[in-house]
C-alpha cells in the first residue's frame, strides 16, 4: 500500500510537471515574436505646432525611411508630405505665426551642423550659411514678425544670438557671445535677454541682460544649477529653476524692477521646465518624477489645474498650445506603446488622433511595460533602474539578460518607449536600464557622485545591476551581457576591460574609448560647455591626462576576453570613428570574437530606418550567438570579424 502511495504521488508529480510544462509552452507560444523590420516599421513622429488658422498640424516623421515633414488635418486623416528628402533628414520647426510658410532644419547626415530653411509656395530657401556654420532656432518673437536663432557664423566656438525678420530674412546680431553663454529667451518687449553659463556639468550661473543698456545682472548668489524658463506675460518678471540649497530643482520668480525673488513651487523631484502659453492664460510645468515626465497645466486667473482626458490609459508626456490658447497638441505614450499626437479642444474636450505610429502587424499585448526597480550597490547606495522582463520568462524558462547603460555622462534611462529595447525583449532578453550614480533626475548629490571617478564606482553600480539580475528567478545568471551607446558604450568597454569576468558579452554603440582624444576633439560649438565637461571628466591638457589614460579602454585592450560588437556612424562629431576603429583593432589581437558595423551616412545616433534595421538586426544575431548560445559560444572555436561599411 505504501509503495502504491509512492507510485501515485510520483504519478501526480509527473502529471503536475507535465501540466506546468504545457502551461509554460503555451505561455511562450502566446507571445508572438516580430522581425527587426516590423519593429523598425514603428513610426517615429512628433508635432511641430498648429498652422495659423489651426486647421493643420506640422508633423516630423520617419515613415519614408528617414525624417521628413508632413501636414495633417487638425481633425486627423492622412499625413501629406511637405518634403521628400531621400538622403539627409529633415526636421520641422513650425508654421509661421500668421501664414502657411514653414521653418525646418537639416544637417549633413548626422554631423550636427544644422541649417535653417523656409518652405513657401515658391519652394525652399536656405536662411543660414551653407558651409561649416551651425544654426539653431531659438523661438518666435512675441509679435510673430521675427524669430531668434543662435549661430557660430562669426566665431566657430561662439554661438551668437540673431533676430531674423520674416519679410526680408535679413539677420540682425543681438548678442556677440564672446563669453560662451547659453541663450535662455527674450522678453516680449525685446528689452531683456536671459543667459546662463555652465560652471560644471551640474551647476550654472544665470544672468539677466538689459539689451538697451548692455548691463548684465547675475541672478544666483550661490553655486547651484540655474535654468531660465520664461518671462511673465506682463514682462515685469521672469521664472527660473534652481537647486540652490536643495537636492532638486524648484521654481523661482525674479522681479526685474527691484531684483526681489520668491519661491513659486517645490516638489520632491526636479522641476525641469515651465512656460506660459502665448497670451498668458495658462502656465505649464513639467517635472521628472522617477524617470517619468509629469505635466501640470494651471489656469493663471483661477489657479485651477486643467484636467485632460484619459487616452487609452496612457500618460500625457507633453503639450503645446495654439496661440489663441483654445487648442492643444498632446503627446501621449508609455513604456509599452510609442507616443502618438492628439489635437485637443480645451472648451469641448474633443480630441483627435493625428498619428498612429505602432506597426499594425504588432499586437500591443506582445510588448512589455517597464517597471522601476531599485537595488543596493557595492557600498550600500540605492541604485534606480528601469526593468523590462520578457513575457516568456519564468522560473522554468530562464532568459538571458542585458544591463543597458544610458548616454551622458549625466543622462538618465527613462520610462519611455524604445523599439530597439522592445525588439530585444520580444526575442527573450531581459533588459535592466541602470541609472548608475552620476545619472540625472535623482538629486544633485547622486548626480555628482561619479565626477572624475568614471569607470570605477559607476561601473560597480552596473555590476551590481548584473548581480540583481542574476538573483531573479526568471534570469539565466550565466548569460548576462552589457550594452550602451555613447557614455553607455564607454561603460560597455570599461566593463569588458576592467571587469572582464563580469559580463559574457558587450555591445558598444559609438562609445568613447579614448577620453584624451574625445575631450580634445569636442565640436567647437560646445565651447560654452567645455570647461564644465573638463571639470567633471578632467582636463586632458593637464596632469589629469594620466588618470584619463588610465580609464580609457583603448590603452588596456589586452584585458578583453569576451565577445564584442561595435557600431559606429562615420559622421559622428562627438565620438570620432577612429575611436571605434582603434578599439576593434586592439581587441582583435586577443583572438576575441569582434563584429564591427559602420554606417557612412550616420552620426551620433542612427536615424535612417535601413541602417537601424541592419544595426539592430545584427545586434540580435550577435547576442543569439554569443550570449543566448544558439551558435558558437566558445572562444576556442575561432574569431568572428565582420566589418560592414555602408
Q: Which residues pair with 266 in a beta bridge?
A: none
Q: What per-residue confidence (pLDDT) applies to 28? A: 52
- Three-class SS state of 8: helix
The pLDDT of 60-64, averaged and rounded, is 97
Nearest to 252 by CA among 291, 222, 281: 222
Q: Is the pLDDT assigned to residue 41 strictly greater than 90? A: yes
How many Cβ atoms from other residues are within 10 Å of residue 441's Cβ?
Answer: 22
More confident residue, 26 or 324: 324
Q: Name which of 253, 328, 259, 338 is nearest 297 in CA terms.
A: 328
Q: Which residues pair with 288 in a beta bridge?
A: 270, 293
pLDDT, tens digit, for every residue of 478-530?
A: 999 999 999 999 999 999 999 999 999 999 999 999 999 999 888 887 777 78
- 532: pLDDT confidence band, cut at 50, 70 and 90? confident
Query: Of 371, 308, 314, whose CA–CA distance to 337 is shortest?
Result: 314
- 287 pLDDT more than 80: yes
Q: Which residue has the higher pLDDT, 645 or 495?
A: 495
**Which CATH code fits 44-180?**
2.120.10.30
Q: Please list, in sequence order, all residues whose beta carbon lies within 8 angstroms of the beta carbon of residue 605, skipping any fewer than 6 positions away.
A: 110, 485, 510, 569
Q: Using a pLDDT cut of 70, give the percent of the chain over it.
A: 93
Is pLDDT of 646 > 80?
A: no
Q: By mean pLDDT, which of 170-174, 535-539, 615-619 is the weakest?
A: 535-539
Q: Are 579 and 554 in contact (CB under 8 A)?
A: yes
pLDDT single digits (tens) 609-642: 999 999 999 999 999 999 998 544 433 333 444 4
Q: What is the mean pLDDT of residues 153-169?
A: 96
pLDDT in tens, 215-242: 999 999 999 999 999 999 999 999 999 9
Place domain 364-514+552-645 in its CATH homologous superfamily: Alpha/Beta hydrolase fold, catalytic domain (3.40.50.1820)
| Cα 261 off chain centre by | 33
Distance of CA 309 to the CA centre of its chain: 26
**Residue 538's pLDDT band (cuts 50, 70, 90):** confident
- pLDDT of 303 over the 60 cut: yes
Q: Where in the chain is the domain with CATH 2.120.10.30?
A: 44-180
pLDDT for 24 equals 41
Query: Cα 326 vs. chain centroid, distance in angstroms?
Result: 30
Bridge partners of 605, per DSSP, are 603
For cell 501640470, what's the residue? 296
**Residue 400 contacts by C-beta under 8 Å, 6 or more apart in sequence?**
428, 429, 430, 475, 476, 479, 480, 481, 623, 627, 628
Q: Say if residue 399's pLDDT is above 50.
A: yes
- Tens digit of each residue's pLDDT (9 = 90 or more) over 249-286: 999 999 999 999 999 999 999 999 999 999 999 999 99
Q: For 300-313, what is the mean pLDDT?
A: 93
CATH 3.40.50.1820 placement within the chain = 364-514+552-645
Q: What is the pLDDT of residue 537?
A: 87
Residues in the chain: 646
Instruction: Tell me the percentage of the chain whose pLDDT exceeds 90.
Output: 85
| CA neighbor of 195 nearest in space, from 178, 208, 212 | 208
Beta bridge partners of 116: 105
Angle, helices 457-470/487-498, rounded to nearest 10 degrees: 80
Q: How many CB atoms lie within 10 A of CB 527?
A: 17
Pairing verdict, β 270-276 and 135-140: unpaired
Distance between CA atoms of residues 381 and 375, nearest Å: 8
Q: Which long-range contacts (CB under 8 A, 24 or more apart) does 316-320 make?
A: 317/293, 317/416, 318/286, 318/293, 319/284, 319/295, 319/344, 320/47, 320/49
Average pLDDT, integer, range 106-118? 94
CA pseudo-torsion sign 447, 448, 451, 453: negative
pLDDT at residue 409 greater than cutoff 60: yes
pLDDT of residue 156: 93
| Per-residue pLDDT reduced to its tens digit, 447-482 | 999 888 889 999 999 999 999 999 999 999 999 999
| Best CA proximity match to 513, nearest among 435, 418, 581, 589 | 581
User: What mean pLDDT is predicted for residues 344-359?
Assistant: 97
Full-prediction pTM beyond 0.85?
A: yes
Mean pLDDT along residues 418-438: 98
pLDDT(209) > 50: yes
pLDDT > 60? residue 439: yes
Alpha carbon of 291 to those of 46, 346, 413, 605: distances in Å? Answer: 20, 28, 7, 21
CA distance 224 to 204: 6
Amino acid at each position: 500500500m505504501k509503495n502504491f502511495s509512492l507510485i501515485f504521488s510520483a504519478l501526480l508529480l509527473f502529471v503536475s510537471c507535465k501540466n506546468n510544462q504545457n502551461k509554460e509552452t503555451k505561455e511562450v507560444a502566446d507571445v508572438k515574436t516580430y522581425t527587426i523590420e516590423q519593429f523598425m516599421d514603428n513610426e517615429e513622429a512628433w508635432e511641430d505646432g498648429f498652422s495659423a488658422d489651426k486647421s493643420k498640424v506640422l508633423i516630423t516623421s520617419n515613415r519614408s525611411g528617414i525624417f521628413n515633414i508632413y501636414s495633417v488635418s487638425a481633425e486627423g486623416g492622412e499625413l501629406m508630405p511637405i518634403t521628400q528628402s531621400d538622403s539627409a533628414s529633415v526636421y520641422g520647426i513650425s508654421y509661421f505665426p500668421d501664414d502657411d510658410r514653414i521653418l525646418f532644419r537639416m544637417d549633413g547626415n548626422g554631423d550636427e551642423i544644422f541649417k535653417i530653411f523656409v518652405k513657401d509656395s515658391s519652394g525652399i530657401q536656405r536662411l543660414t550659411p551653407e558651409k561649416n556654420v551651425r544654426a539653431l532656432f531659438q523661438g518666435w518673437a512675441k509679435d510673430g514678425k521675427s524669430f531668434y536663432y543662435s549661430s557660430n557664423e562669426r566665431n566657430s566656438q561662439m554661438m551668437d544670438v540673431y533676430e531674423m525678420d520674416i519679410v526680408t530674412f535679413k539677420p540682425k546680431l543681438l548678442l556677440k557671445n564672446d563669453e560662451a553663454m547659453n541663450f535662455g529667451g527674450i522678453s516680449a518687449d525685446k528689452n531683456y535677454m536671459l543667459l546662463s553659463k555652465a560652471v560644471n556639468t551640474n551647476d550654472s550661473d544665470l544672468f539677466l541682460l538689459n539689451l538697451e543698456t548692455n548691463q548684465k545682472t547675475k541672478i544666483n548668489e550661490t553655486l547651484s544649477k540655474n535654468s531660465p524658463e520664461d518671462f511673465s506675460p506682463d514682462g515685469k518678471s521672469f521664472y527660473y529653476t534652481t537647486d540652490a540649497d536643495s537636492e532638486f530643482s524648484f521654481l523661482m520668480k525674479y522681479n526685474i524692477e527691484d531684483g526681489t525673488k520668491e519661491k513659486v513651487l517645490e516638489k520632491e523631484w526636479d522641476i525641469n521646465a515651465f512656460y506660459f502659453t502665448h497670451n498668458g492664460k495658462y502656465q505649464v510645468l513639467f517635472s521628472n518624477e522617477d524617470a517619468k515626465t509629469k505635466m501640470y497645466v494651471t489656469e493663471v486667473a483661477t489657479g485651477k489645474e486643467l484636467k485632460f482626458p484619459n487616452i487609452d490609459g496612457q500618460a500625457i508626456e507633453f503639450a503645446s498650445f495654439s496661440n489663441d490658447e483654445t487648442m492643444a497638441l498632446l503627446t501621449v505614450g508609455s513604456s509599452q506603446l510609442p507616443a502618438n499626437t492628439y489635437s485637443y479642444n480645451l472648451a469641448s474636450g474633443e480630441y483627435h488622433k493625428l498619428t498612429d505610429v505602432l506597426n499594425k502587424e504588432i499586437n500591443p499585448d506582445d510588448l512589455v511595460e517597464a517597471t522601476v526597480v531599485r537595488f543596493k550597490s557595492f557600498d550600500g547606495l540605492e541604485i534606480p533602474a528601469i526593468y523590462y522582463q520578457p513575457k516568456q520568462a519564468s522560473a522554468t524558462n530562464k532568459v538571458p539578460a542585458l544591463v543597458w547603460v544610458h548616454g551622458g555622462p549625466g543622462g538618465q534611462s527613462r520610462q519611455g518607449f524604445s523599439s530597439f529595447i522592445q525588439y530585444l525583449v520580444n526575442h527573450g532578453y531581459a533588459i535592466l536600464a541602470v541609472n548608475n550614480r552620476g545619472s540625472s533626475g535623482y538629486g544633485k548629490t547622486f548626480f555628482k557622485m561619479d565626477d572624475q571617478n568614471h569607470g570605477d564606482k559607476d561601473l560597480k553600480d552596473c555590476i551590481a545591476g548584473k548581480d540583481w539580475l542574476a538573483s531573479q528567478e526568471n534570469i539565466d545568471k550565466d548569460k548576462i551581457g552589457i550594452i550602451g551607446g555613447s557614455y553607455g558604450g564607454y561603460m560597455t568597454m570599461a566593463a569588458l576591460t576592467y571587469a572582464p569576468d563580469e559580463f559574457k558579452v558587450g555591445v558598444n554603440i559609438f562609445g568613447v574609448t579614448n577620453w584624451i582624444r574625445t575631450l580634445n576633439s569636442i565640436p567647437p560649438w560646445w565651447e560654452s560647455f567645455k570647461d564644465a565637461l573638463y571639470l567633471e571628466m578632467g582636463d586632458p591638457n593637464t596632469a589629469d591626462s594620466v588618470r584619463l589614460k588610465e580609464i580609457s579602454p583603448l590603452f588596456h585592450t589586452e584585458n578583453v576576453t569576451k565577445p564584442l560588437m561595435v557600431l559606429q556612424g562615420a559622421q559622428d562629431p562627438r565620438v570620432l570613428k577612429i575611436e571605434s576603429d582603434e578599439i576593434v583593432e586592439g581587441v582583435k589581437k586577443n583572438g576575441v570574437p569582434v563584429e564591427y558595423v559602420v554606417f557612412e551616412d550616420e552620426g551620433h545616433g542612427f536615424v535612417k530606418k535601413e541602417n537601424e534595421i541592419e544595426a539592430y538586426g545584427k545586434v540580435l544575431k550577435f547576442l543569439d550567438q554569443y550570449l543566448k548560445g544558439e551558435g558558437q559560444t566558445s572562444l576556442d572555436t575561432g574569431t568572428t570579424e565582420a566589418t560592414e561599411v555602408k
